[in-house]
Structure 1
Amino acid sequence: MRKITVIAGLVAAASVALVGCDVQKTQEGNVSVPKYEVSKTKEGDVTLPKYDVTAPSVEVKTKEAEVLVPKVGLQEETVKVPSIDVKTADEKKAEEGKVASNK
């Protein structure tokens, strides 16, 4: 459970970080691809087969059942948890502008 929570937190942090990005093109790219020539050597006739498909019927239900469930006790404990501070590109630029004007 803890592993899933940590993974979900990291995914959320990465999503926030990507949304806060400011992307600027700094260099033009150059791509040259090879050229190919294709020639037809034979006439063809294509007829695709037809299918009648009957999908299965699926029903999802719940039912009551008796199962053994472990009882877990809880105690409060202080632990270190990750803390994430995200500054968007605009916030960073504004902060850098304040630092430059104070010098």
Structure 2
Amino acid sequence: DGNMPDITAAGSFHEFLVKLHTKYGPVATFWHGKTHVVSLASAKAFKDTNKLFDRPAVLFENIKPLVGPDSITYANGEDGKRRRHDYDLSFSYDAIKNYYSRFYE
């Protein structure tokens, strides 16, 4: 079960991570089932990993019914990089400025 009992006791995955990082700092590990996971909770901690792209799909199994198996959440490798690049353009600061008046309405 890994840290699943701890996640449940915390009330949510988010609350579990808040408690984990409060206790252990910006870089901490936990078990997601049989998968050992490293959790980063600061911009400085992310800096050394910003070139890493692929993520284990098992981490997102709980949201698969919501987003579907073909979601960008599960896209790794060159396909994921291409999709991320294409999608990010639509959600950049400059792109969002173009939509702001519509959102406001």
RCO comparison, higher one (Cα < 8 Å, 6+):
1
TM-score range, shorter chain: under 0.3
Larger fraction in helix:
2
Q: TM-score, normalised by structure 2?
A: 0.20
Larger fraction in strand:
2
Q: TM-score, normalised by structure 1?
A: 0.20
